Amino acid sequence: MLKIMREMKVVRKISQNRDDYIIIVGCGRLGSHLANLLSKARKSVVVIDKEEKAFNRLSEEFSGFTIEADAIEIDTLLKAKIDKADVVVTTTNDDNTNIMIAQIAKSIYGVPKVIARLFEPARQKIYEELEIETLCPTVLSALEFKNIIVGKEMED
């Protein structure tokens, strides 16, 4: 019994560590907020932005690293150690940039979890076919608005 409990503890520890190293591309309104939340959740976070002032959005408690550079450059991604990343989230304000970096992370560096911010809901299906996970804040916000207005039980 003790042995099983010890093994379970090890398994839990491994799964807890799985998403430990996270790269966030873009430190604007979305990326900085996410970086602050993940840092608070004790994850190792690296945030990339091409504008130095973007990092002002990070909280005083943010314990990760920042890289001021264009994330489209492979050198920037290598500097962020993309080959070691467990998660890459692309949150720039450009769908093409987000998708391109997501594809590089997934196909070239084999990052296990890649999520791209998508502005244009109509493009979501295309990226699903390319097996790129996307989150479309426009769609998520609309759903939340709908839930507040008519309740969650009504079908989407």
Q: Which residues bind to ligand AMP, rule: CB under 6 A?
A: 25-31, 48-51, 54, 70-72, 91-94, 97
Kindly tell me which of 31 and 132 has the beta carbon lying closer to ligand AMP: 31
**Smallest distance from the beta carbon of 32 to ligand AMP, in angstroms?**
8
Q: How many CB atoms lie within 10 A of CB 103?
A: 17
Kindly tell me which of 7 and 51 has the beta carbon lying closer to ligand AMP: 51
Strands (E), 20-156: 21-25, 44-49, 65-68, 87-90, 113-117, 133-135
Kindly tell me which of 91 and 132 has the beta carbon lying closer to ligand AMP: 91
Distances (CA, A) of 145 to 10, 33, 121: 42, 20, 16
**Smallest distance from the beta carbon of 89 to ligand AMP, in angstroms?**
12
**Smallest distance from the beta carbon of 33 to ligand AMP, in angstroms?**
9
Three-state SS at 8 = helix
Kindly tell me which of 34 and 132 has the beta carbon lying closer to ligand AMP: 34
Strands (E), 50-143: 65-68, 87-90, 113-117, 133-135
Three-state SS at 25 = strand
**Smallest distance from the beta carbon of 26 to ligand AMP, in angstroms?**
3
